[in-house]
Structure 1
Amino acid sequence: MADTTGHPTEPGVTSETESPMRPSSWRHIGPGIVVAATGVGAGDLVATLIAGSSFGYTLLWAAIVGCLVKISLAEAAGRWHLSTGRTLFDGWASLGRWTTWFFAVYAVVWGFVYGAAAMSSSALPLQALFPDVMDLKWWAIACGLTGLVFVWFNRYAVFEKVMTVLVGVMFLVTVYLAIRVTPNLPDAFAGLLPVLPDEKDSVLNTLGLIGGVGGTITLAAYGYWVNAKGWTDTGWMKVMRLDNRVAYATTGIFVVAMLFVGAEMLHSANVAIASGDKGLIQLGDILEAEYGSATAKFFLIGFFATSYTSLIGVWHGVSLMFADFVARLRPGTEAARGEEVASGARERSWPFRAYLLWLTFPPIVLLFQDQPFRLVIIYGVLGAAFLPFLAGTLLWLLNSARTPRAWRNGPLSNTMLALAGLLFLVLCVKQIWDQPWSEFF
């Protein structure tokens, strides 16, 4: 997306001529599959199902726009890592100490609450598949512990292969369901026209769908996975961009397929499902009544793959970010940090493993009691604030002298990042406004 022609490279910065451009090839695809699998969780599929059940195919265009917005964000994160040889944390730290404080609070609070949510989401389809084996809480703990062990003992290469297999399962299940419900293709094509439903709050619902298509902290983790893959200079820029586009094309297929299911199975029958992960359990029951137990079980396997990829993806990607965050606080470690990226040592570092433990064990407490009310509100606000923070800081970094001139933003990148920042800011304000603050104090 960047304007990469006609600009000299700044002194002391490696230029694209010093890093021969590798030809883009499908055999290199990897980090994009990881970010797509991690970013699309059960909540995204439910939101798309509800959009289909409420508005039919009307908001199909919004789901596609959501994918384009995320392409611009992930591409910007990857371009920063490859063009500067520095991590996103280096960039954030150059903007002021406030970024460090924001991430420190975010990582602690968000990780604590998200850990419990991810474990519960992965447990739901397992309990539905094996209802007599054990309680939901113990399934959740088992998911968290297996995710911990898997990420603890495996490096990126194995992690990527497992994620690719699980994405394959997600792909087969969602495409099968979309075909099974026999979508109305003329109505679907009409849904590509950017129109809004006539219902109340249709603008906010539309913005929520656009912003919710695979939009999480894993967009920021993409640059770290790019480095973990061994892509560390501008010679990999074309490969990274192909990888990123494949990622969100895959995401687009997931969400469009689920919108088809919502439009055909729920909207036409005027059936409503609950928001949140339990909405997918309801869909499983509807599928069983309509198409039989085999289809329902196949769907639940896909539901598990969707939730579990988000779990292990966050366990790996955000732990990488936290390890870099801790390393950034220790002065004089620039060279060591570069060697960590190249050798994969960051995945064996104590901060990486400490955050893995934080994501796994403290959240187990929340599985046995109601989530602390104030903590959940803070979690919601921080989560809503992260994506406007990411879009705004990338816009700042990639238009400044911190980025080599040849790889700074062009008009298209600036437009997409500005639109993303505005979109997420509106959604952030809405999230903050909707919180029950009167009960907080």
Structure 2
Amino acid sequence: MAETSQRGSGEVVGQPRKASWRYIGPGIVVAATGVGAGDLVATLIAGSEFGYTLMWAAVVGCLVKISLAEAAGRWHLATGRTLFDGWRSLGGWTSVYFGIYIVVWGFVYGATAMSSTALPLAALFPGFPGGLKAFAVIAGLIGLVLVWFNRYAGFEKLMTVLIGVKFLIVVYVAVRVAPDIPAALTGMLPVLPDGSFFYTLGLIGGVGGTITMAAYGYWINAKGWTDASWMKMMRLDNRVAYLTTGVFVVAMLIVGAELLHASNIALASGDKGLVDLGSILEDRFGTFTAKLFLVGFCATSFSALVGVWHGVSLLFADFYERVQRVRRGESEDAVAEVAEGRREKSWPFRTYMLWLTFPPMGLLWLDQPFGLVIAYGVLGAFFMPFLALTLIWLLNSDRTPRQWRNGLLSNGTLAAAGLLFLVLCVQQVRELPW
């Protein structure tokens, strides 16, 4: 084990630990959580509409998320402070925005995640009593129990199994449709087909997670990586996460290009498009491949559900703790204690898990209220610009030890990400059903 001295004058001093594949873990969690059914549908539709032309955009999306996750992880390790602690240092406005966002987002996302997991189960077991709604409730309850009674180590093992299942199945389906390798390589050239500008930006910005970018720093702390001696390991872990994400995205774009674009087949919008794809696969390759794909769809949706139940609950618990410290007039300089597992068993952590599970079940029987859809859309559109721009602010200030501040490359990639997300934010708000 590397020896680490106490932090002084804002510095974290430690003997760098060797990056080793056997320590990989938080990256697997972020990849399993970040690639949900929505990402698979988006890349499928990109392939169905534009063939291999936007392959480059999917790859660029992974590179953008590498820079964001690396920045979040670097903040946690270099400063010993959580990301929300950093946001608090930028002013009280961050707590107001984030507090409203995480409550509204969790309410709507809970119903979305449960429904997404239920769709393939309903297709696999069409005669099940209660159908889609019953499967959605069961998925939410199982996710709650798995996170409630597991600490990070058990949670990571579960996510590794789920990502293994979906990885193998998605790659298997991509191989079955016989990809056109020369066309796929040509798709790495940055070309914008007519009418694809905002769609391309959405594909770049939507690959591999939103709020899970912020959760990454909490997962590396929960793994036991708490100081700068783990920096090399974190960077290797992060690259593995988005290499895995890239394989998912490229595989689904291949399926869209070969199976849908070539046959001029359109999918239904939303997660139901993946159920449609199951039917298309059955016609083309038989029942086994179709059922196997639905299992992969279920693993994809359920891993996103479990990841959010754990990661975003850590964010909420930290948010609550920091706000309470301010109310009590306590210092905000205390180092996070996530590594000891304290936060995973705290009542704010478990309260937010309950919030993600039970109130959203009401939305399964109702259309989402109009005002809630608007609030969810607006707050969600602003989160990624908020994350990218605040990371630039934090990592260029004296809040970060000098040796770990942004360099030219980090500033360039984060600034490009911030600009991208601002454009997407404006477009998404314009497209809301006001």
| Residues 1:383 and 2:377 are matched in the alignment | no
- Note the residue ranges of structure 1 that are not aligned, 5 or more in a row: 1-9
Contact kept? 2:43, 2:249, Cα under 8 Å:
yes
Name the amino acid aligned to 1:119: M
Measured in 2, the distance between the counterparts of 1:238 and 1:155 equals 25
Partner of 1:169: 165
Measured in 2, the distance between the counterparts of 1:175 and 1:27 equals 23
CA apart distance, 1:215: 2.8
Contact kept? 1:47, 1:275, Cα under 8 Å:
no
CA apart distance, 1:334: 5.4
Spell out, residue by residue over 1:300-324, the C-alpha distance to the aligned partner (whole angstroms, 9 max, x if none): 0100010000000000000000000
Task: Output aligned runs, 1:269-288, within 5 Å.
Answer: 269-288=263-282
Partner of 2:156: 160
TM-score (norm 2): 0.96
Partner of 1:39: 34
Spell out, residue by residue over 1:205-256, the C-alpha distance to the aligned partner (whole angstroms, 9 max, x if none): 1101101101310000000000000000000000000000000000000000
CA apart distance, 1:11: 5.3
CA separation of 1:153 and 1:333: change in aligned 2, threshold 3 A: farther
Spell out, residue by residue over 1:106-140, the C-alpha distance to the aligned partner (whole angstroms, 9 max, x if none): 01100000000000000001111111113100100
Task: Output aligned runs, 1:188-267, within 5 Å.
Answer: 188-198=184-194, 200=195, 202-267=196-261
Contact kept? 1:23, 1:239, Cα under 8 Å:
yes
Name the amino acid aligned to 1:169: V
Name the amino acid aligned to 2:314: L
Measured in 2, the distance between the counterparts of 1:377 and 1:294 equals 41
Aligned length: 424
| Residues 1:297 and 2:294 are matched in the alignment | no
Task: Output aligned runs, 1:322-401, within 5 Å.
Answer: 322-331=316-325, 332=330, 338=336, 340-401=337-398
Contact kept? 1:327, 1:337, Cα under 8 Å:
no
SS in 1 for 2:15: coil
Contact kept? 1:49, 1:258, Cα under 8 Å:
yes
SS in 2 for 1:330: helix
Name the amino acid aligned to 2:248: F
| Residues 1:107 and 2:107 are matched in the alignment | no
Spell out, residue by residue over 1:44-84, the C-alpha distance to the aligned partner (whole angstroms, 9 max, x if none): 00000000000000000000000000000000000000000
Identity, in percent, stands at 71
Measured in 2, the distance between the counterparts of 1:337 and 1:24 equals 24
Partner of 2:84: 89
Aligned-residue CA RMSD (Å): 1.3
- Note the residue ranges of structure 2 that are not aligned, 5 or more in a row: 1-6
Task: Output aligned runs, 1:3-14, within 5 Å.
Answer: 12-14=9-11
Of the candidates 177, 182, 189, which is equivalent to residue 181 of structure 1?
177
CA apart distance, 1:43: 0.4
Measured in 2, the distance between the counterparts of 1:259 and 1:229 equals 33
Measured in 2, the distance between the counterparts of 1:432 and 1:192 equals 30
CA apart distance, 1:336: 7.0
Measured in 1, the distance between the counterparts of 2:15 and 2:258 equals 50
CA apart distance, 1:13: 2.4
CA apart distance, 1:342: 2.6
Partner of 1:318: 312
Name the amino acid aligned to 2:159: M
Measured in 2, the distance between the counterparts of 1:33 and 1:333 equals 34
Measured in 1, the distance between the counterparts of 2:315 and 2:376 equals 18
CA apart distance, 1:330: 2.2
TM-score (norm 1): 0.94
Measured in 2, the distance between the counterparts of 1:229 and 1:406 equals 24
Spell out, residue by residue over 1:405-435, the C-alpha distance to the aligned partner (whole angstroms, 9 max, x if none): 0000011100100010011110110011111
Contact kept? 2:47, 2:261, Cα under 8 Å:
yes
CA separation of 1:275 and 1:148: change in aligned 2, threshold 3 A: same
Spell out, residue by residue over 1:146-183, the C-alpha distance to the aligned partner (whole angstroms, 9 max, x if none): 10011001000000000001000011011101110000
